[in-house]
Amino acid sequence: MLLNASGCLDALTAPDVARQLDAFVTKTVTPLPRPGNPPVRIAETEAGMLNSIGLANPGRDRFLAETLPALRELGLPLWVSVGGFSAREYAETCERLDEVTIELNLSCPNVDEAPESAGEIVAACRAATGLPLYAKLSPAAWDIAEVARAVEAAGADGLSLVNTMRGLALDERTLWPVLATATGGYSGPALRPIALAAVYACRRATALPIVGMGGVTTGRDALELVAAGASAVALGTVLFSDPDAPGRIRAELETELELLGLDSLAAAEGLAHAGGVGLRSRPVAGPAPM
Ligand SMILES: Cc1cc2nc3c(=O)[nH]c(=O)nc-3n(C[C@H](O)[C@H](O)[C@H](O)COP(=O)(O)O)c2cc1C
């Protein structure tokens, strides 16, 4: 299953890109409207991108009255990314949603990311809704597996891994921070090994299904997240430079599976934990010839 990462695709302005996905994930919606941070809000770096969008969104009331009905017209399964600044704020939004999957953005600024806090937010949302609840975690957690266990115990149905890491870019000439907020969220290829490690650790720690994301630009990248333990993959930063990425990555994924002799993506799930594809069938012999 292929999704977009929250905040990386506007399905209403690019419906053709959204229709290449199996489900559309909205930008994070917060109780009150947020204008977002002042410009500059995007900075390119060698191996990824920094953003300080600051959860710009129309707020819960307008989202429910205008954005969500318009998104439903796409005919795609919808995931709503929910943000807030207290467990109650998250839960109040969850209570008002219907016929969607909910992704709790537990990596919001000003929201404490200690395991108890993530667990408390999930528990409050669990009490407020029977809808599927995914917890989106930050890779900056000291022990992401511990956070994963906490949200599983609190009633989460799945994990979305990972959000951005904090980063800083300095202007080449002035040496001042490029972003108006100085630091921002770092996404793109540099995040890939970090995302792989998070998926790998959480797959070992919990039984929850995982949406893997972080730096995916090719079918091979998507396959690796699945091998580490994801059952679905989300595309983020790549969508800014390649709107055809969903179709291309799907085709590349097919080729990768064929090369490995696997008949479905499900057959690749968790292979990194089982010794990989080749190792199990490779004869145990002496050192490989030089
Ligand atoms: C411009 C931009 C805006 C984002 N907005 C959100 C957001 O609103 N909510 C959220 O949970 N993640 C947000 N993210 C994080 C992505 O959903 C994703 O977790 C992260 O970018 C890693 O994936 P990638 O390396 O493929 O981009 C945003 C990322 C970018 C680049």
- Whether the pLDDT of residue 14 is over 50: the answer is yes
Angle of helix 219-228 relative to helix 192-205, nearest 10 degrees, comes to 30
Domain limits, the chain: 2-281
pLDDT in tens, 190-228: 999 999 999 999 999 999 999 999 999 999 999 999 999
- Within a 13 Å sphere around the CA of 134, how many CA atoms are in the beta-carbon half? 25
- Residue 5 C-alpha to ligand 1 middle, in angstroms? 6
pLDDT in tens, 21-53: 999 999 999 999 999 999 999 999 999 999 999
Q: Which fold has domain 2-281?
A: TIM Barrel (3.20.20)
- Residue 245 C-alpha to ligand 1 middle, in angstroms? 16
pLDDT of residue 110: 47
- Which of 163, 186, 225 for a ligand 1 pocket mutation test, highest count of atoms within 8 Å of Cβ? 163
Tokens representing residue 264 in the block: 């479905």
pLDDT of residue 107: 82
Report the nearest-CA residue for atom 7 of ligand 1: 7
* Cβ pair 166, 184 in contact under 8 A: yes
pLDDT of residue 279: 54
pTM for this predicted structure: 0.94
Q: Is 9 in the pocket of ligand 1 (CB under 6 A)?
A: no
Pairing of strands 232-235, 2-4: parallel
Q: Is 7 in the pocket of ligand 1 (CB under 6 A)?
A: yes
